[in-house]
Amino acid sequence: MALKLGLVGIGKIARDQHIPAIAADPRFELVATASRNASVDGVAAFTSVEALLAAVPELDAISICTPPQAHFQAALAALRAGKHVMLEKPPAATTREIALLQEEAARHGRTLFQTWHSRFAPAVSAARDWVHKSTLTGGAIRWKEDVHKWHPGQQWLWDAGGLGVFDPGINALSILTEVLSAEACVHKAALDFPENQQAPVAARLDLRTEAGVSIDADFDFRHKGEEAWDIELFSTTARARLSRGGSALEIDGRLVVDRPAMEGEYPGLYARFAELCAAGRSEVDWRPFQLVADAFLIGERRTVAAHQV
């Protein structure tokens, strides 16, 4: 029997990716939505998670697609009502919130799937295999996009807790933490805050692995033209380049994987969610979020020109 699912926060990613992925997966049935201003044709609509949980007690699970500032209350209410929960990235507004949600899921014997969609990109597992066979000597992340193209009108990105350029940048960190065979920490960081906003428009991170290998990350929302979503990793014998957000992989200039951007990511997420619910397990890995939090903790701050959303 299909899991009866509620979808929370009907915005861009819900419409672009979640709704088509749910419709294509027979293990889920979308029975209701919770969104203050939006709904999905033919699906029961509520304006809050609490109203949805009260009105549809037969619900098995909810999938939360709101910005991170709204995750905690929604997820907590759903877990306490005995529902499985799938969370969009970034996982929450604070590190403590995600830790508490993990504990709450365990207490209620429910699944918490805290997702990183970029880890499901087609070339990531091949990159991981390459890294695990290599001796890494360095790396460089370039994650640059035009915020006006990808996030038009999204003021929540710029409010406190919205993460600014780390909202896409955390995707790179989710791939990095997935492929590395050693843990990485933020050694140094520099963050550029527009004078009229609460979140950075650009950031540079010097990450170091346990073995002392340095990986530079350069995140920028002021980029014009074609986006750069690239991770380069260097070993003692070769150089790997993951590009287009993890859709393509080159080793020493030879294309090993080359697939359309985002292909299979959300179907992969829902397949994993179904497996986790069936197995009664949770999956939570907040290391990418810790790296971002640490960049805020130790990063040098620079005030830059105002940014108009």
Near ligand NAP by CB under 6 A: residue from 21, 22, 65, 86 = 65
Positions in 280-299 near ligand NAP (CB under 6 A): none
Distances (CA, A) of 257 to 126, 231, 249, 254: 8, 14, 5, 9
Positions in 211-240 near ligand NAP (CB under 6 A): none
67 binds ligand NAP (CB under 6 A): yes
Q: Nearest approach, Cβ of 212 to ligand NAP (angstroms)?
A: 32
- The answer to whether 206 touches 214, Cβ cutoff 8 Å, is yes
CB neighbours of 41 closer than 8 A, spacing ≥ 6? Answer: none
Near ligand NAP by CB under 6 A: residue from 6, 21, 69, 130 = 69
36 binds ligand NAP (CB under 6 A): yes
Near ligand NAP by CB under 6 A: residue from 83, 84, 89, 241 = 89
Comparing CB distances to ligand NAP, the nearer of 139 and 200 is 200
Near ligand NAP by CB under 6 A: residue from 5, 7, 10, 31 = 10
Cα(82)–Cα(224) distance, rounded to whole angstroms?
46
Residue 103 exposed, middle or buried by CB count within 10 Å (0-12, 13-18, 19+): exposed
- Upstream peptide bond of 90 is cis (omega within 30 degrees of 0): yes
Comparing CB distances to ligand NAP, the nearer of 198 and 303 is 198
274 binds ligand NAP (CB under 6 A): no
Range in contact with ligand NAP (rule: CB under 6 A) among 19-27, 83-91, 250-258, 268-276: 83-91
Range in contact with ligand NAP (rule: CB under 6 A) among 9-17, 24-32, 172-180, 227-235: 9-17
Tally of residues, the chain: 309
Cα(261)–Cα(214) distance, rounded to whole angstroms?
27
35 binds ligand NAP (CB under 6 A): yes
Near ligand NAP by CB under 6 A: residue from 11, 138, 161, 267 = 11
- 133 in active site: no
Pairing of strands 300-304, 184-194: parallel
Cα(83)–Cα(77) distance, rounded to whole angstroms?
9
Beta strands in 74-135 (DSSP E): 84-87, 112-114
Active site residues: 89
